[in-house]
């Protein structure tokens, strides 16, 4: 349950971010960007990251085993953290709070803060690229597309994405220090 003062604070943050959120969400009105961001969002649902973790040892051998295990562990920690934070902040998604935000993708849960998709995209892309830099040319732009998709599709506010990216970066730093 959210603290009473947190309700008022989050309402002010929602209102402050509405204009930027709406502007970015207008990009989903066009078929090509909407399609690209929907694909990116779906890739960020998790299956891509599970596949990456499994493929790393197959592609890179024993040198990738420890990084893959650490990535899996930071992924679990990321799920725990973002679910805990969503339970504390209970921030409604923009399309729920603002009738003018068009939902253009399916949410995985009800609450918005922080973006779990962004958290994991940043964490996994960062860790994989730290160990295998040649993957960066694919993973870094993909992580950026996943993060952007969350606002464009009406699922998150920009601060949800920024918070998810910050948590993901912190988890990635933890992971790279352990692998």
Average pLDDT, the chain: 93
Does the structure show a pLDDT above 60 at 1? no
> Looking at residue 8, what is its pLDDT?
83
Secondary structure class of 111 (helix, strand, coil): strand
Residue with tokens 């197959």: 58
Q: Please say if the pLDDT value at position 161 is more than 70.
A: yes
**Integer angstrom CA distances of residue 102 from 10, 63, 92, 99:** 20, 45, 14, 7
Q: Which two tokens stand for residue 74?
A: 């930071």
Q: Answer whether residue 179 shows pLDDT above 80.
A: no
85-130 residue pLDDT tens: 999 998 999 999 889 998 888 888 889 999 999 999 999 999 999 9
14 pLDDT tier (thresholds 50, 70, 90): confident
- Contact between 139 and 128 (Cβ < 8 Å): yes
Quick: pLDDT tens for 16-25. 999 999 999 9
Query: Which domains can be identified in the chain, with CATH numbers?
Result: 4-178 (1.20.144.10)
């Amino acid at each position: 349950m959210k603290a009473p003062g947190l309700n008022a604070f989050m309402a002010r943050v929602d209102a402050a971010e509405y204009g930027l959120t709406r502007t970015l969400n207008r990009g989903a009105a066009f078929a090509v960007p909407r399609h690209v961001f929907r694909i990116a969002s779906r890739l960020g649902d998790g299956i891509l990251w599970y596949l990456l973790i499994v493929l790393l040892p197959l592609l890179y051998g024993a040198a990738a085993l420890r990084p893959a295990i650490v990535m899996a562990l930071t992924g679990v920690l990321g799920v725990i953290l973002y679910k805990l934070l969503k339970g504390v902040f209970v921030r409604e998604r923009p399309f729920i709070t603002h009738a003018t935000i068009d939902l253009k993708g399916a949410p995985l849960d009800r609450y918005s803060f922080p973006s779990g998709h962004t958290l994991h995209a940043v964490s996994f892309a960062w860790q994989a690229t730290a160990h295998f830099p040649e993957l960066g040319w694919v993973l870094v732009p993909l992580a950026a597309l996943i993060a952007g998709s969350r606002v464009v599709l009406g699922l998150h506010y920009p601060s949800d994405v920024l918070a998810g990216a910050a948590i993901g970066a912190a988890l990635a730093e933890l992971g790279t220090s352990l692998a």
